[in-house]
Structure 1
Amino acid sequence: SDTTKEDGGAKKIRLIDGLGITGGYNFFADSLKWSAMSITFRSTLFNNVNITGSTSIDPYDVDSLGRRIDKLLWKRGNIGRITGGNIALSTSLKSKSKNEKKDEDLPYDETLTPDEQQRQLDYVRQNPAEFVDFDVPWNIQMSFALSFYRTLTANLRRYVTQTNANVSINGDFSLSPKWKIGGNTYFDFRTKKIQTLSMFITREMHCWQMAINITPIGLYKSFSIIINPKSGILRDLKINRSRFFYNQ
């Protein structure tokens, strides 16, 4: 019998969902025939925290000026020089939908090309007020990203590590069955500043929907009022009043 199905039996835990290693070798090159090696991985913790990461490894050594030379570090027992990498964590939380039978995913249009589908998804992300779900009382998405890369100093004497980190939060919640408020923000740990902040408030009006968007912080500040049909076919028939300001 399978003891994993019994109480107290072993439980399988998947540590890595995907792992990839890529590299190349140029047979026709005079030197430096090996390319840099890239390692990527992805995993999921607690069924709700997505983790992705990658790193780049150069198999060749460098001279005193930081230029690659035809000396493989593998021959010295070293896997190579780590030139950069990144890791990102993201998660989302939301309340239970009032309409349990409703399909939460965006409708899939088989007539669209992959590029058109990606542009459609980008538009949804950039205009969340037009696509809020009034059946979900609240939802929140959070992500954290950390990256680093090795670079030469101005005097070309040594390598230093540059590190960047940021956190982004976006979500919305219902003020009433017909009103929703939400927004998103992006904080950069290197500059210790909020790089962007956008807020919106939207109102459901039966077959129509009104959205007010405000971006008070960021390089591009804006204010807009949009009234559009809720039907996807008639979504382009909308009234849009916008103002944009460039912060020099």
Structure 2
Amino acid sequence: MAFRTFLSSLGINAPEVTTVLNSHEVRPGGTLTAEVTVRGGAADVRVERIAVQLVTRVEAAEPTEKSWDNPGVVALQAVPAFDLAAGEERGARLAIEVPWEMPITHALGRDLRGTRAAVRTILEIDNAVDRGDFDEIAVHALPAQDLFVDAYRTLGFRFDEAEVKTGRVNGGHNQLSKFWQELEFYFPADYGRGPNAQLETVFIARHDSLDLITGPHGPYPFDYAGLTLDQCVAWLDRHCRSLWG
């Protein structure tokens, strides 16, 4: 799917930029490729910047639970400044490396309520900036993240929502990103926590392992190699019973 942005402040014949993504689905650690095409308007201009941003919805930046206006920039690639003649067309191919700690929007193939991610193109000409529209994407969980989400499901936990926050979680052990994501699950009755009690879970992912944080506890490191659902279920059950059982 393509999306376009143009500088309305420069008039109806302003330059226009079109961005086409190679895919709208990705995992942390993957790559998003975008084809960016700029078409000149009625006059020669100096294009100061074209930037393609990977953004995520940040809970504290939005006035309501559903708004999607002030995203956090997770990664970006930019085209250097250039002169664009009237009616001229130029193209560029940009690759955005998706960080391992990128907040996920889907787990076990299902949408995670509360988190959204998108690609946004910024066009800047003569100090006028158009931030364009969001082209939403699906960021699927890593296999190990899916295993732990499935472990919660197997034990009877019920997913509520996900939130992306700014700052450091539990002191920021091994955390590289300025954003972190919290997945909220309702406890099952087995753990005696009451019908509305929740367990917040944070994944700090890397290329070969992740840290799991449960509420104020952790981080607990897990290697991807050899990790199974049975292991995740057994560990999570022991962990919860030792703290709350």
**Structure having the higher Rg:** 1
- Which of 1 and 2 has higher RCO (CA within 8 Å, sep 6+)? 2
TM (normalized to structure 2)?
A: 0.30
Give the structure with the larger helix fraction: 2
TM-score (norm 1): 0.30
1 or 2, which has the higher strand percentage? Answer: 1
